[in-house]
Amino acid sequence: MTRSFRALLIRDLKLAARVGGSGVMGLIFFLMIVTLIPFALGPDLNLLSRIGPAILWIAALLATLIGLDRLFQADQEDGSLELLRLSPAPLELIVLAKVTAYWLTTGLPLAIATPLFGLLVALSPEGMLAMVVTLLVGTPALTFIGAVGAALTASLRRGGLILAILVLPFMIPTLIFGVSAANAAVGGTVPFATPFLILIALTLISAVVGTAGTAAALRSAE
Amino acid sequence: MRLSVNNLACDRGGRRIFEGVSFTLLSGEALVITGRNGAGKSTLLELLAGRLHPAGGKIIWEGAGERSLTECLHYVGHRDALKSALTAQENLDFARDFLGNPALSPAEALEAVGLAHAARLPVGYLSAGQRHRVALARLLVAHRPLWLLDEPTSALDAASQETLRQLLENHRAQGGMIAATTHSPLFLSEPKEIRIERQSARIEREVP
């Protein structure tokens, strides 16, 4: 069972790294959004650093979303999904392997690259640290929630937009508590731990519900 | 091991595709499924592979201990489940680890289908026939008793068809089972044959 998990994880990581893979796309998209916003707002450093966490979080959310439609669609199109069903491991474990691989190639690089992008929105060092931590904790929640939508839209040809409409509302709580935790770290009346612990809880809940929901969506698809 | 199918029926999109399909498959036996285009041959295989649910009837799988039917079968369909960006070797490495019960190494399996030279090429560079042979090589890297093959000879040249026939006979000699849909004869020895016709039950008949 762990063999199947590892095999699938490694395959998806390899695919992300190859030509046409989603490996760097999310990161470049993230950079584009974060770069565009200072141009739109003008060089007001105080304003930028105040809304910096929100900008970074929205950019991370969109960057997570952008490759999600291919999560199961690619496997559906070339018949790999049928192969995945023949595994001795339960479908939930297969979902977990795919989501883990996706997060390792999108969420994790985003979190690691945040200090660099934080410079563009004049974030303070504490703010950058808080952004890294909240993104590390929060992006798995986004990926798990998105996976349910990806499984539901796997067989639709232009599923990307429907996927976004389906899952964005469910990502709002994560966004709220992610941004408020990052804001709490740079100042404000709320202690950092309060929203941060809720963010952790959201991630844990979506890990369970997202995995079960994605597997159920794949089972019901015919 | 024994696969029994009783009175199987299938609906798709609210329409009855076929009903009353019954057959039994024992170790070492092969079943050839024939029928017109759209008769439901591939659908029958998908039912057996567990991708679709029967609208009626039963699929009974016995003699494999705790392993369910889906854990005991290989499925090679029209969509070859190969990743174009990965090499033939990598695709087979994945299948071997993922499916469990490893048998031949990917290099040996590719040798067996005559593609040893293409092991390091991305599958996207291969021709349709070559891709299909890589998919067939997947049958050899993990040991599973039941092989479900959807048009296994499509896109294969005469020499590859003969190689395929030998692979299938070897598998049967080792106690394996095969269910294959086809339009062209597979030249298997003593296969069972079932003809699917829309909306009607057909009895299986032994071909002498």
Cα distances from A91 to residues A56, A88, A95, A217, B29, in angstroms, run: 33, 9, 6, 11, 30
Is the distance from CB of A137 to CB of A177 less than 8 angstroms? no
Which of A162-166, B25-29, B66-70, B201-205 shows the lowest mean pLDDT across its residues?
B201-205
By C-alpha distance, the chain A residue nearest B86 is: A15
Percent of chain A topping pLDDT 70 = 98
Rounded average pLDDT over B83-103: 93
pLDDT digits (tens, 9 = 90+) for A124-167: 999 999 999 999 999 999 999 999 999 999 888 888 889 999 99
Which among A20, A78, A87 is the nearest to B82, CB-wise?
Answer: A78
Q: To probe the interface with A, which of B83, B98, B151 has the most A CB atoms within 10 Å?
A: B98
The answer on pLDDT for B201 being more than 50 is: no
CA dihedral B120, B124, B128, B134 (to 10 degrees): 40
Of A15, A83, A85, the CB nearest to B50: A85
Percentage of chain A with pLDDT > 90?
66
Size of interface A-B (CB pairs under 8 A): 79
Which one of A14, A79, A85 has the shortest CB-CB distance to B80? Answer: A79
Cβ neighbours of A9 in B, within 8 Å: none
Q: How many CA atoms lie within 13 A of B16 on its CB side?
A: 14
Contact flag B49-A88 (C-beta cutoff 8 Å) = no
Q: Are B86 and A85 in contact (CB < 8 Å)?
A: no
Distance CA A94, CA B164 (A): 31
Alpha-carbon distance B123 to nearest alpha carbon in chain A (angstroms): 12
Phi (first) and psi of residue A52, to 5 degrees: -50, -55
Q: Is the pLDDT of residue B206 over 90?
A: no
Quick one: pLDDT at residue B185? 82
Lowest-pLDDT choice from A73-87, A133-147, B7-21, B193-207: B193-207
Cα-to-chain-centroid distance, residue B42: 10
- Break chain A into its structural domains and give their ranges: 1-220
Residue B199 pLDDT more than 60?
Answer: no
* A83: closest chain B residue by CA: B81
> How far is the C-alpha of A196 from the C-alpha of A185, rounded, in Å?
10
B151 Cα to chain A: minimum distance (Å): 15
Q: What is the pLDDT of residue B124?
A: 92
Q: Which of A10, A20, A86 sits opposite B70 (nearest CB)?
A: A86
pLDDT at B204 over 90: no
- Where do you find CATH 3.40.50.300 in chain B? 1-64+145-208
Of A8, A18, A79, Cβ closest to residue B85: A18
Instruction: Tokens for A180, please give them.
Output: 């408020």
Kindly compute the dihedral angle of the four CA atoms of residues A51, A54, A60, A66, in this order, to the nearest 10 degrees.
Answer: -100
Chain A residue numbers with beta carbons less than 8 Å from the beta carbon of B49 are 82, 85-86
Average pLDDT of the residues in B49-70: 88
Interchain pair B85, A3: CB under 8 A: no
pLDDT in tens, B154-171: 889 999 999 999 999 999
In sequence order, what DSSP letters do the residues of A12-28 get, joined into one string? HHHHHHSTT-STTHHHH
Report CB contact under 8 Å: A15, B84. Answer: no
CA–CA dist A135, B147 (Å, integer): 46
Q: DSSP E strands: which ranges in chain B?
A: 2-12, 15-26, 30-34, 56-62, 73-76, 146-150, 177-181, 192-195, 205-206
pLDDT at B205: 53
The 10s digit of each residue's pLDDT in A165-188 is 999 999 999 999 999 999 998 887
**A127 to chain B, closest Cα gap in Å:** 40
Q: Is the pLDDT of residue A111 over 80?
A: yes
Cα separation of A191 and A98, whole Å?
35
CATH for B1-64+145-208? 3.40.50.300
B100 vs chain A: nearest CA distance in angstroms?
A: 7
Residue B111, chain A, CB below 8 Å: the answer is no
Instruction: Provide the pLDDT for residue A190.
Output: 86
Which residue in the set B71, B80, B85 is minimally distant from A20, CB to CB?
Answer: B85
Given an 8 Å threshold on Cβ–Cβ distance, is B79 in contact with A79? yes
Residue B17's pLDDT is what? 86
